[in-house]
Structure 1
Amino acid sequence: MKMISRGFIVLCILLAGCVPAPANPPVEPNASSWPTWVVTDVAAVRPAAPPDQAATQAELKEVQTLVAGRDQAALQQIAYWDSGSPSYRWIEIAFAQNRATPASAPRVFRMMSLLNVAIYDALVVAWDAKYTYQRARPAALAPSLPVVAQHTNSPSYPSEHAVAAGAASTVLAYIYPDLAQDFLAKAQAAADSRVLAGAHFPSDVEAGLELGRQVAQQVIARAQVDDTLPAWDGVIPTGPGHWTGEKPAEPNAAKWETWVLASPDAVRPGPPLAHDSPELAAELQEVMTITHTFPIDQKAMWWQSAEGVFENWYTFASLRMFEQGLDANPVAAARTYALMSVAQHDAVIACWDAKYTYWSFRPIHMEPTLKTVFATPNYPSYPSGHACVSTAISEVIAAEFPAYAEAIRARAADAYESRIWAGIHFRHEMVAGKEIGVAVAQQVLAWDD
């Protein structure tokens, strides 16, 4: 009772304004020491110092003029780019582009890893610059300035939103060169929104855009190694138990550079069940005897969609970030997104390595009368790609948000069970895929320790 009374009195004093409420601590002042993926020397990439005091005062007047002239369109622009962490809109933009011009699953996972690694590494460098230069935000110099953006308690230079915009737009322009100008225009709009909001000086966003672009070029240099691999030789093994078909999807993905795995075959599983084994015959019976209800088939279809395969994991993580206030911690949010995307990227490479090592056939090859929920994917079966990538990303999310570990693992289980329901995989392929996913996630999380 005494503790309750004392707490009540303190609360009353705070509410009465007799003592100031405690200020929020600065956001991640030590983030410059966090590990990075492509940047080898954070200080070497650090932008030059911000303008001096006289130039800053001139910039402040420019900010005040822009803020005073805000109209409804400006407020909408600010609100759009202010939603979530700086990574949030760019992840949404990338997925929207994939829906408009669908790519193969390995290429989508690769795009997301390039995007999120570029944003994360650029923000680590930005955080080094912020706490090196300690530039005050505009409202610190003009307390009456009406700021209409969420407050990240960190120094002003460079702008975190501009950094993310520069990095993301440069990566997306590389992947979709015909749309490069559209992405660059979006980046400029994102950067401009921070000045309009009163959250940053013009030089903050200029330096941020340039820093993001610079780090993205390092990421792109890495991607170009994959893009210049020799063409697949076109040889498809023949014989009992082998996959049959033409133009299998992305055989070269088995040779792409990995982020954490020592090589694409680092976690390669043993061979699949023999084509004439009683164990495989029993697994075929499991597939053949699925009771196809509307809910089962609906789930199978959803997990085949872009939302099921790619987007839902990020939606889940973003909601947790909103709940926990991590949208106001840009570098921590970017770190989580990068770990998630790297896990799926390396998992799909490990999966494709096994697929194109064993060239294992699908259930429909063993039993041509089998009716599947949708067309069987045009590449070898073992191991299950859904099991690999869903397990990998769910294990990372479980580690990042342990209160939701059970929920996200249940979602991953649904994802890989859906491949049995659909009639396109055998049970042992799910088991092997899950083992790959767990192994990759463990290495991703170990990298971050």
Structure 2
Amino acid sequence: MKNKIILIALCLTGIAISCKKEISPVLEYNSFTYSSKDQDAGTWTSIYLTSASQVAVAAPTDPTSSEYLSELAALKSLSASLSSDQEKKVKYWGTNGVIRWNEIARELVAKYFTLPQPNEDGSYSWPSSTDPSTYPLYPFSSPPYASRTYAYLSAGNFDAMIATWYYKFQYNRNAPSTYDASIVTHLPIQDLPAYPSEDAVLAGFSRTLLTFLFPLEESYLTTLAGEQESSRLWAGTNVQSDLSAGDSLGAKIAKLFITRGKGDGMKNTLGNQAVWDSINHVWEATGKAIWKSLEAPGRQMLAPKFGLVKPWSFTTSDVTTTYRLPAPPEVGSAEFQTALDEVMDYCKHANRDEQQIAFKWDDGTRTYGPPGHWNWIAEPYITNAQYSPLRAARVLAYMNMAIEDAGICVWDNKFHYFFPRPTNVNADIKTLMGVPNFPSYPSGHSGFSGAAATVLAHFFPSYAGTFTTLANEAAMSRLYGCIHYRFDCDAGVTLGNQVGLAAINHAIVDGGE
């Protein structure tokens, strides 16, 4: 597996080899025994739950009870002989459902990351959470929405796993095959109590949380959660009561995170015509060179209020103080002109490798966006370490909270400075891809990437150099594509690094180090 990670790193950085195969959205890995037991994980500090026992789980039946013995008999029958479809599902869900639900979330982000077409009168309609099935479908999973999706899914999974481990070791009911050795198993039996099932907790949480975020996908998500839970029966690793308790726990924790989501300010981020007009009028009155939409007909600016969304690792006031960047070079200054000339130089002379880097990191519509790109990068490092769902969720939680927090800070700065894109200043600059419909400074790709790379370097220090290289490449891709100035990219990475460190400061004291 280590060789696979090295290969992926080389593909991403473009070093030494040429990678022509398309990226697969599904990571293939062999099932494994968890690399750590983490018996004390129920005492770790959670992200949002007040304690690991905030949601109660009833005690299981005794392993010697007639009820449990009946469950063992039923399980023995279910796992004895599998169909090819059942075998595929057991292998697919494997030993780390955290990875699978992350992939599913990325799939949904890509599906809903599509720009509405203009109406006949030149106006645009936007998705509505109150009427999600009317075109354009809800949600519009732009990078701000995507970063929030990954953050809620990952942080919630981590809290749910802390609660799961708490109850596992409180009740200590072991895997079914320890009570009946004749049960055929198709996955490694972990050195952990089986009640409640970590897979069922993930299924219950992820189904509930993602249905809140993608309401039109409820049936699809319910089917997937059912398949994950059934795969534990077919694998012979859990009885039905393990699964029922786990699903209930996960769903209840998801509802707590949904409560946070309803109050985090995201519903106000798009604004409305009055908000957009007000922002434009204020900036036009300054007489400065400012950002303007280059789309025809003009499209509303994207998520002007995302900078006001509640962050994870610090306060909203920190966004406008600690993480407010110095002003960019003034348009017309010598420093600015040098930066603008550099963009034009790449417009005219970018070489093939630079163009390929620009396209590789484009992460535009119908993709899982720059935040999702970093989740894809993280996956093989997690599975190579043979992390349990608890440990996997911990990595993804801190990384994705940092990514969303970086996005919040980036958007705050973007709309604080309202700085023009290179193409706003010089119409002769031709970009390699569409120009994003929001201000230039700082670069969002750079902020997301700086945050992700910083957190991943903490968890996988041997690969810190690889992550730094990737973050810098992602940042430079925006200059190569003539979307941003160099100072946009540099400021974005610096900001992302700072936000990533804030997330790490929480990780080092949560008990899981």
Match of 1:92 in 2: 103
Q: Distance in 1 between matches of 2:404 and 2:371?
A: 11
The answer to whether structure 1 residue 258 and structure 2 residue 311 are counterparts is: yes
Q: CA deviation at 1:152?
A: 2.5
- Residue correspondence of structure 1 range 329-368 to structure 2 within 5 A: 329-368=388-427
Please list every run of at least 4 consecutive aligned residues from structure 1 whose deviation after the TM superposition is greater than 6 angstroms.
23-26
Code of the residue aligned with 1:39 in structure 2: it is L
Paired residue total:
424
Among 197, 219, 229, the alignment partner of 1:159 is: 197
Note if contact 2:146-2:372 (Cα within 8 Å) is conserved in structure 1: no
More helix by share: 1
1:176 — aligned with what?
Answer: 214
Q: Is the 8 A contact 1:46 1:129 kept in 2?
A: no
Q: What pairs with 1:92-241 in structure 2 (closer than 5 Å)?
A: 92-102=103-113, 103-225=141-263, 226-229=265-268, 231-232=271-272, 233-234=275-276, 235=278, 236=280, 237-238=283-284, 239-241=287-289
Structure 2 CA distance, aligned partners of 1:210 and 1:190?
14
Q: Aligned-pair distance for 1:41?
A: 2.0
Shift in Å at residue 72 of structure 1?
1.7
Q: Percent identity?
A: 29
- Answering whether residue 68 of structure 2 is matched by residue 48 of structure 1, we say no
Residue in 2 aligned with 1:244?
Answer: 292
- Tell me the equivalent position of 1:5: none
Instruction: Name the CA distance, whole Å, in 2 between partners of 1:399 and 1:46.
Output: 33
User: 8 Å contact 2:419–2:440 — kept in the other structure?
Assistant: yes
Q: Give the Cα separation in 2 of the matches to 1:182 and 1:24.
A: 29
Partner in structure 1 of residue 326 of structure 2: 270
Residues 42 and 125 in structure 1, CA contact (< 8 A), matched pair in contact too: yes
Partner Cα separation in structure 2 for residue 93 and residue 24 of structure 1:
22
Checking the alignment, whether the CA contact within 8 Å between 2:471 and 2:493 is kept in structure 1 is no
1:232-267 per-residue CA deviation (whole Å, 9 max, x = no partner) reads 512222132211124111112111110012113241
| CA distance in structure 2 between the aligned counterparts of 1:437 and 1:152, rounded to whole angstroms | 37
Aligned CA RMSD, in angstroms, stands at 1.7
Distance 1:262 1:33, change over 3 A: same
* Higher Cα Rg, which structure: 1
Out of 223-232 and 435-444, give the one that drifted further: 223-232
- List alignment gaps of at least 5 residues for structure 2: 1-32, 114-140, 294-298, 509-513
**What one-letter code is carried by the residue in structure 2 that aligns with 1:248?**
M
Comparing 260-269 with 311-320, greater Cα deviation is found at 311-320
Whole-angstrom distance in 2 between the partners of 1:29 and 1:394 = 29
Give the one of 396, 406, 409 matched to 2:465: 406
**2:354 paired with 1:296:** yes
Q: Using a 3 Å threshold, how does the CA distance of structure 1 residues 268 and 166 change in structure 2: closer, same or farther? A: same
Contact 2:233-2:240 within 8 A present in 1 as well: yes
Q: 1:425 to 1:284 in 2, by over 3 A?
A: same
**Which residue does 1:280 correspond to in 2?**
336
CA contact (8 A) 1:74 1:196 kept: yes
What is the rounded CA distance, in whole Å, between the counterparts of 2:342 and 2:503 in structure 1? 34
